[in-house]
Amino acid sequence: MAKQKTSFFCQECGVESPKWVGQCSSCKKWNTLVEEIVVKDKKNQNTWVESGDNRSNSKKLSEIQDENLARIPMPGKELNRVLGNGLVRGSVSLIAGEPGIGKSTLFLQVALRLQNTKVLYISGEESLEQIKLRAERIGSRNENLYLLAESDTQKIFNEIKKVKPELVIVDSVQTLNTPFVESAPGSVSQVRESAAEFIRFAKATQTPVFIIGHINKDGNIAGPKVLEHMVDTVLQFEGDRHYTYRILRAIKNRFGNASELGIYEMGETGLREIHNPSEILISQRDEVLSGTAIAATMEGARPLLIEVQALVTQAVYGTPQRTVTGFDMRRLQLLLAVLEKRGGFQLGVKDVFLNIAGGLKVEDPAIDLAVLSAILSSYEDMPVKTDYCFVGEVGLSGEIRAVNRIEQRIKEAEKLGFERIFISKYNKSAYLKADHIEIVQLGKVDELYNALF
Residues that bind ligand TYD (CB under 6 A): 97, 99-105, 134, 137, 266, 268-270
Of 109 and 189, nearer to ligand TYD (C-beta) is: 109
β-pair type (350-356, 302-314): antiparallel
Q: Using CB under 5 A, which residues numbered 102 to 131 contact Mg ion?
A: 104
* Cα–Cα distances in angstroms (integers) from residue 317 to residues 291, 347, 381, in the given order: 22, 14, 21
Q: Compute the least distance from the CB of residue 181 to ligand TYD, in Å.
A: 24
Stretch that binds Mg ion, among 15-23, 101-109, 187-195, 241-249 (CB under 5 A): 101-109
Indicate the burial class of 414 (C-beta count within 10 angstroms; 0-12, 13-18, 19 or more): middle
Contact window for Mg ion (CB under 5 A) among 100-108, 294-302, 350-358, 444-452: 100-108
CA distance 214 to 360: 20
Counted residue by residue, the chain has a size of: 453
Nearer to Mg ion, 127 or 313 (CB): 127
CB of 100 to Mg ion, least distance (A): 8
Is there a contact between 414 and 389 (Cβ–Cβ < 8 Å)? no
Give Rg (Cα) of the chain. Answer: 26
Q: What's the min distance (Å) between Cβ of 309 and ligand TYD?
A: 26
Count of residues in contact with Mg ion, rule CB under 5 A:
1
Of 105 and 153, CB closest to ligand TYD: 105
Q: How far is the CB of 115 from Mg ion (least distance, A)?
A: 23
Q: How far is the CB of 207 from Mg ion (least distance, A)?
A: 22
Q: CB 104 → ligand TYD: shortest distance, Å?
A: 3
Single out the residue of 199, 262, 255, 192 nearest to residue 221, CA to CA: 192
Between 104 and 117, CB nearer to Mg ion: 104
> Please, which residue, 268 or 435, has the CB nearer to ligand TYD?
268
User: What is the 3-state composition of the chain as percent helix, strand, coil, each rounded to the nearest 5?
Assistant: 30, 25, 45
Nearest residue (CB) to ligand TYD, 126 versus 393: 126
Residues 53, 64: Cα–Cα separation, whole Å: 20
Is the CA virtual torsion 77, 92, 195, 229 positive or negative? negative
Chosen from Mg ion, ligand TYD, none, partner binding at 239 (C-beta under 5 to 8 Å by type): none
How many Cβ atoms are within 10 Å of 266's Cβ, its own excluded?
A: 18
Q: Which does 99 bind (CB under 5 to 8 A by kind): ligand TYD, Mg ion, none?
A: ligand TYD
Residue nearest to Mg ion (CB): 104
Closest approach of Mg ion to the CB of residue 126, in Å: 7
Torsion-angle region of 249 (φ positive above 0: left; ψ -120 to 50: alpha; else: beta): beta
Which spans of this chain sit near Mg ion (rule: CB under 5 A)? 104
